[in-house]
């Protein structure tokens, strides 16, 4: 009888132990599931202007990193001046033309109202020209912006949206004739001579490293010449300008 009781006690202990482990495992899975559903958005300081950097697959890396580089720099005494966020159509990781993988901070659906939007380029921007969601997002945000900036063939997206009709614009070197043909309501500048142009709230450049021109020009407009000089020194821009082999 004693042996029988011991056997029953052992079986009950094993059963309880199995149930406990099963419950613990279920809890762990549930926690993991909940973690994947949490959406972490980049914090916005509502007292600061918000700079939005549009992105999509194949985007030229420099046309995202140039404004990021310029507008995230603090003042000389360490004060933050802008919210700078990246935005894409959805939450999927963006892969740039050069292979850089970037997780967007916001999507078209949850992006805040922007004070500035930067519209970048790709070597083949045709898929975005045809993307109604991208064009609609540019149109909607342009209603809020103080400045709308295009770099390189991002000018085609501006043209497709129709928001800058009657305004001066420049595109990549060699792309002006096609841009003017496709969007006759734009006043397309001679890209062999013009690196940067502004017309009212619309700013544009040839793109690539010239994206730093549009970013720095806008930075000066939104702050002052002294802060621009400080940022240029932060970037060692003089070293690049003066470098000779």
Residue 85 has pLDDT above 80, yes or no: yes
Q: Can you list the alpha helix ranges (DSSP code H) found in the chain?
A: 2-37, 61-71, 126-129, 132-142, 154-161, 176-182, 211-222, 225-234, 237-242
- Mean pLDDT of the chain, nearest integer: 88
204 vs 218: CA distance, rounded Å: 10
Query: Residue 3's pLDDT is what?
Result: 47
Q: Tell me what pLDDT residue 39 has.
A: 60
* Whether residue 36 has pLDDT greater than 80: no
The dihedral through the CA atoms of 164, 169, 173, 179 has a sign that is positive
Q: What is the dihedral of CA 128, 148, 63, 56, to 10 degrees?
A: -30
Domains and CATH numbers, the chain: 50-230 (3.40.50.880)
Span 162-176, pLDDT tens digits: 999 999 999 999 999
104-156 residue pLDDT tens: 999 999 999 999 999 999 999 999 999 999 999 999 999 999 999 999 999 99
The pLDDT assigned to 70 comes to: 98
Q: What is the pLDDT of residue 241?
A: 86
Residue 28 has pLDDT above 80, yes or no: no
pLDDT tens-digit profile of 150-203?
Answer: 999 999 999 999 999 999 999 999 999 999 999 999 999 999 999 999 999 999
In 3D, which of 132, 130, 175 has the Cα closest to residue 155?
175
Q: Please give the share of the chain, as a percent, with pLDDT higher than 70.
A: 84
What is the DSSP track for 62-104?
A: HHHHHHHHHHT---TTS----EEEEEESSSSPEE-TT--EE--
Q: Give the pLDDT confidence score for residue 41 in this predicted structure.
A: 83
């Amino acid at each position: 009888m004693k042996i029988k009781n011991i056997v029953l006690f052992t079986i009950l202990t094993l059963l309880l132990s199995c149930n406990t482990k099963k419950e613990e495992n279920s809890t762990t899975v549930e926690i993991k599931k909940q973690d994947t559903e949490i959406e972490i958005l980049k914090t916005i300081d509502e007292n600061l202007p918000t700079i939005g950097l549009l992105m999509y697959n194949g985007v030229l890396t420099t046309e995202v990193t140039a404004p990021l580089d310029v507008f995230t720099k603090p003042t000389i005494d360490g004060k933050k001046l802008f919210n700078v966020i990246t935005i894409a159509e959805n939450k999927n990781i963006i892969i740039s033309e050069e292979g850089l993988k970037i997780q967007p901070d916001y999507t078209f659906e949850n992006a805040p109202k922007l004070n500035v939007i930067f519209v970048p380029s790709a070597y083949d921007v045709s898929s975005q020209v045809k993307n109604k969601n991208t064009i609609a997002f540019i149109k909607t945000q342009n209603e809020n912006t103080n400045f709308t900036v295009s770099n390189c063939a991002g000018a085609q997206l501006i043209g497709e949206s129709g928001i800058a009709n009657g305004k001066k614009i420049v595109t990549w070197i060699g792309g002006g004739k096609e841009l003017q043909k496709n969007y006759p309501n734009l006043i397309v500048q001679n890209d062999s001579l013009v690196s940067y142009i502004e017309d009212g709230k619309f700013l544009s450049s040839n793109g690539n490293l010239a994206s730093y021109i549009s970013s720095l020009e806008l930075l000066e407009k939104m702050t002052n010449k002294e802060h621009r000089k400080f940022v240029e020194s932060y970037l060692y821009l003089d070293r690049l300008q003066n470098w000779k082999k």
